[in-house]
A and B are shown apart, each in its own frame.
Chain A
Amino acid sequence: EVQLVESGGGLVQPGGSLRLSCAASGFTFSSYWIHWVRQAPGKGLVWVSRINNDGSGTTYADSAKGRFTISRDNAKNTVYLQMNSLRAEDTAVYYCARLNHGGAEDYWGQGTLVTVSS
């Protein structure tokens, strides 16, 4: 069974940092690109970042460029999202999702909540 489990969310002050993790199981992790998507409370979905299967290629939304870093450890079947200089507007549930052959996100984790507040 394909599973993605996010962790690492929590309450952080503005300007602080958090590292989110996405642990995968049930599929050949090293063959798939992984995305991060976020959803502010009561709002819609916003794509944040992606990483290719071997970690050599990454892309970011403008809102994440220069502050967030996506990485992966294929030996641990885990993707990370390092988030620095956090702002109140980064408050959201962060989902990791697997990319299928059609370019769509076919499996999603349950999400981890990040709250940026003083």
Chain B
Amino acid sequence: DIVMTQSPDSLAVSLGERATISCKSSQSVLYSSNNKDYLAWYQQKPGQPPKLLIYWASTRESGVPDRFSGSGSGTDFTLTISSLQAEDVAVYYCQQCYSTPYTFGQGTKLEIK
């Protein structure tokens, strides 16, 4: 199984500041046939299901604010929130969609400083 490791486990950022979450996979999730990294990012608020933010490592899902961006390739990935808003307080998960089981990172809890 591919192991997904996020860092940090929790993060406190001031409103309007940048938040950065890292995700590392134990093996590459780059699909050579289409040169796409099968890495997704989700946001989960308390009592709600996860919400897809980013897929293919950097493609923003429709309707997701452009302050959210994803980067990276191979085994190292980053989710960046360029200017933190109060509504961004949540737990963020990365997931590899390259091979089953589709493993998630342990989650990063983002709070306001």
Q: Given the complex, which residues of B lie within 8 Å of A44, measured CB to CB?
A: 93, 104-107
> Looking at the complex, which one of A46, A97, A102 makes contact with B104 (CB distance below 8 Å)?
A46
Range of interface residues on chain A? 20 to 34
17 examples of A-B residue contacts, CB within 8 angstroms: A45-B44, A45-B50, A46-B104, A47-B103, A50-B100, A50-B102, A59-B101, A62-B101, A102-B40, A102-B56, A103-B38, A103-B98, A104-B40, A106-B55, A106-B61, A108-B50, A109-B49
B59 proximal to A (CB < 8 A): yes
Chain A positions 60-118 with a Cβ under 8 Å from a chain B Cβ? 61-62, 95, 97, 100, 102-106, 108-111
Among B36, B50, B93, B107, residue most surrounded by chain A Cβ atoms (within 10 Å): B50
How many residues from B make CB contacts under 8 Å with A? 26
Interface majority SS on B: helix, strand, loop or mixed?
loop
Interface residues of B (CB under 8 A from A): 36, 38, 40, 42, 44, 48-52, 55-56, 59, 61, 93, 95, 97-98, 100-107
Asked if A100 and B49 make an inter-chain contact with CB atoms under 8 angstroms apart, the answer reads no
Q: Given the complex, which residues of A lie within 8 Å of B97, measured CB to CB?
A: 102-104
Interface residues of A (CB under 8 A from B): 35, 37, 44-47, 50, 59, 61-62, 95, 97, 100, 102-106, 108-111
Bound together, the chains give a CA A45 to CA B42 distance in angstroms of: 10
> Looking at the complex, which one of A59, A62, A103, A109 makes contact with B40 (CB distance below 8 Å)?
A103
Asked if B40 and A45 make an inter-chain contact with CB atoms under 8 angstroms apart, the answer reads no
Asked if B55 and A102 make an inter-chain contact with CB atoms under 8 angstroms apart, the answer reads yes
> Looking at the complex, which one of A46, A104, A109, A111 makes contact with B55 (CB distance below 8 Å)?
A104
Bound together, the chains give a CA A61 to CA B2 distance in angstroms of: 12
